Amino acid sequence: MTYLTGVSETLLLTFYARYLESRRVDGIIKDQKSIEIMKNIDFDFSKFSNMQVYQVFHGIRTEILDRETKLFLEKNPNATIINLGAGLCTRFFRVDNGKLQWFELDLEDVTKLAKNLLGQTDRHQYITGSILDFSWMDRFKDRNPQKTLLIAEGLFYYFEQEEVKKEILEIKNKFPGSEMLIEVISPLSIAISKKAHPSISNAAQFKWGINNLKEIEQWSDGIKLINEFYYFDRYSSRWGWRRFFKYIPVLRNLYRIGHIRFG
């Protein structure tokens, strides 16, 4: 198996959390593709111990993003979906309507691993590159940006704010009328968590957090936050003592997903 480190290694944590959650009888999600490919991954997952909270976190995150992607596809069945920092994402297999075009963007070692495990078709393709190298956007210059959805799951909080801002502004300029689902954390979450998991290398440190996601509307005209989804609002019984976080604004704000439209 390709050797992964730092931020790229977090894709295995995310994958494993989805796998474990999908095997629960009462699981928040059912990610059959992760169950199928688990046997083909040569990795010691025992290093990821104490996964209960991570299962809930990734289960809820996956459920929200799956639902919002399906809603976008109901309005735009021939949509272009661009998954930024895709990792071992299996969302395509859960939401595919037989018409969409799906693109997974990530670094070379990640896309090589993902293609070997998940395959590639005319409607489900991989793009090798860094999101910070804006040249990947040129591939989509002939597509209808108003039927384009970009997904940034478990991604931007590994970058500095200025890097995130440049990325979002470039997307706004290159994909006018498109929409984005963006996962964010708060500055307090950075202070509490430091990184994705204790077993992950220090290269995967959290860097960017934001308290009020509407602040990004001030980065430029034509950026509109149209909805937010808070993790602690969902599945209270699975959060244990953390279920009370939803009643405390600063804690409710720790993890959430924003839905943005670019004018």
Domain ranges of the chain: 6-262
pTM of the entire predicted model = 0.94
Q: What are phi and psi for residue 182, nearest 5 degrees?
A: -125, 125
Helix residue ranges per DSSP H, the chain:
6-23, 32-37, 52-75, 91-95, 108-118, 161-174, 187-193, 249-252
Nearest to 185 by CA among 218, 226, 231: 231
Read off the pLDDT of each residue in 42-66 and give the average, rounded to a whole number: 91
Angle of the 6-23 helix axis to the 52-75 helix axis, nearest 10 = 90
Identify the CATH class of 6-262: alpha beta
98-149: per-residue pLDDT in tens? 999 999 999 998 999 999 999 999 999 999 999 999 999 999 999 999 999 9
Task: Categorize the per-residue pLDDT at 43 as very low, low, confident or very high, splitting at 50, 70 and 90.
Answer: confident
Task: Categorize the per-residue pLDDT at 182 as very low, low, confident or very high, splitting at 50, 70 and 90.
Answer: very high
Q: Answer whether residue 27 shows pLDDT above 70.
A: yes
Q: Answer whether residue 3 shows pLDDT above 90.
A: no
Longest dimension (CA), the chain: 50
Task: Identify the pLDDT of residue 46.
Answer: 85
What whole-number distance in Å separates Cα of residue 238 and Cα of residue 220?
39
Task: Identify the pLDDT of residue 138.
Answer: 94
